[in-house]
Amino acid sequence: MNKALLGLLFFVLLQPAHANWVFISKDGLGNSYFYEDTKVVKDPSTEEVSTWQMISYVDRMNAPNGESIYSVLQDITYFCRPGYESFKQFYIGYYSGIDGGGVAVQHVDTSNSQWERVIPDTMSELLFKFFCKKD
């Protein structure tokens, strides 16, 4: 393999984990919320928006297995019909580093979870409004 190709491969592999992540907002604790802009799927027929989100924590947290984490990745769908504002999580991954970096310490298939109502004046409402806004 020539040096130019090897250098390009090295550059691509070392790109930050958040290369396609777009900042949405910070909460009152300073935790940052992002979404993967190439993975948003809007389905007008079902009034749903599916997206991958990342939360990068300021302080160390614990995954359910007790491992230390600084970020989580989630596969979430929002039900955008007025009066039925809710969301459902299908997957969550826990990461040892900020911005989805470090190593994956646990992942959980949450596809059997229930739909949850969006609580007013919370980060879940801000995220709901962000993804369910009319174009």
Local mean pLDDT, 10-residue blocks, the chain (135 residues) = 40 46 95 94 95 97 97 97 96 96 96 96 96 86
> What pLDDT, on a 0 to 100 scale, did the predictor assign at position 3?
44
Assigned domain for 95 exists: yes
Assigned domain for 113 exists: yes
> What pLDDT, on a 0 to 100 scale, did the predictor assign at position 26?
96
DSSP string, 29-81: T--EEEEETTS-EEETTTTEEEEEEEEEEEEEEE-TTS-EEEEEEEEEEEE--
What pTM was computed for the model? 0.82
Return the CATH number at 45: 2.40.128.710
Assigned domain for 65 exists: yes
pLDDT in tens, 2-21: 444 333 333 333 334 445 89
Containing structural domain, residue 44: 21-132
Assigned domain for 4 exists: no
The tally of domains found in the chain comes to 1
Assigned domain for 2 exists: no
Closest CA to 17 of 109, 93, 79: 93
> What pLDDT, on a 0 to 100 scale, did the predictor assign at position 45?
94
